[in-house]
Amino acid sequence: MSDETEEAFSAETENPDASAEMESESDDLMAALRLIAERAGKVILQYYVDAEEIVLREKDDASPVTDADEAAETFILGALNTMTPHIPIVSEEAASAGEIPEIDGDFFWLVDPLDGTKEFISRNGEFTVNIALIEHGVPVAGVVHAPALAMTWTGAGEGTATFSETDNPPMPISVREIPNEGATVVASRHHGTGEKLEGFLATRSVKDRVTAGSSLKFCLVASGQADVYPRFGRTMEWDTAAGHAVLLAAGGDVWTLDNEPLDYGKPGFENPDFIAEGVHLDAGFDSIDEDSEV
């Protein structure tokens, strides 16, 4: 994306021609992001399919990392730096190594090259490539690609959320109204229990509970296959930004326990507990004991 494109993204104008130009720029951006994510997915699949054994290492924060994480990140950073050389990139593995750029401008990228490393290691397919563009703390564009499932979700503003299977055209998706019989709750495959979660769900009418890995939880809500994703426990901004962008584009949002929209560019890039919803309800936000176990 050129300097002119960056200016188009931040321009505020009621000129119809300018609006059309901005829409075209947005379409071009999302096509590029989808291509970058899918090519990064191919890099990851080389390790996923070809390696007899996936070598796991532990970072300083005790989280897992593999050669696939690092190879995918190298590809994505190269592509984004070529496309938008003036927009800083905060990416998981680089940030873990202390390489964090200044993000005092209007825009920055958030990248998780392989979200769901535990899913990758267990070879269950539920890992994703996450790329999001942040403007003034809000995820304004994002792509979530699941390489092993050959599925991609994108979003860049209200009403633009799409789902596609590789080599097929994107289809529009949106959140749903909560069914009369109750909500479907999606939780983390590895962090889907605890007193906070149970306390929150006790205030809601719940029909079904499902689990999923990585950013797929956001995508299930965005596509109307689930209604709420409560997360109590540590997450980082690069874990959530792309899925958050898709959910926003599908008509949903993500809320902190203070009932405020989740924002980005926080010191340390760590998220508070949050609730991702298709339809926002106040129920449950006052019921959570901050001292209870996750």
Query: Mean pLDDT for each 10-residue chunk of the chain (294 residues)?
Result: 46 46 76 96 91 67 81 97 96 93 93 92 93 98 97 97 92 96 88 76 92 96 97 95 98 95 96 95 64 49
**235-270 residues labelled b (16+ CB within 10 A) or e (exposed):** bbbbbbbbbbbbbbbbbbbbbebeeeebbbeeeebe
Alpha helices in 123-258, H assignment, sequence order = 195-201, 216-222, 237-249
- Mark whether 83 and 105 lie in a shared domain: yes
Q: Do 110 and 163 lie in a common domain?
A: yes
Q: For residues 87 and 167, state if they share a domain.
A: yes
The pLDDT score that the predictor gives to residue 33 is 97
Residues 165 and 264 grouped into a single domain: no
Last residue of a domain, one of 113, 141, 172: 172
Predicted pLDDT of residue 17: 56
The predicted pLDDT at position 258 comes to: 92
In a shared domain, residues 246 and 165: no
User: Domain span at residue 151?
Assistant: 3-172
**Global pTM?**
0.88
Q: Looking at residue 191, what is its pLDDT?
A: 59
CB 185 within 8 A of CB 206: yes
Please name which of 224, 181, 225, 221 lies closest in space to residue 205, comparing C-alpha atoms: 181
Q: Structurally, how many domains does the chain consist of?
A: 2
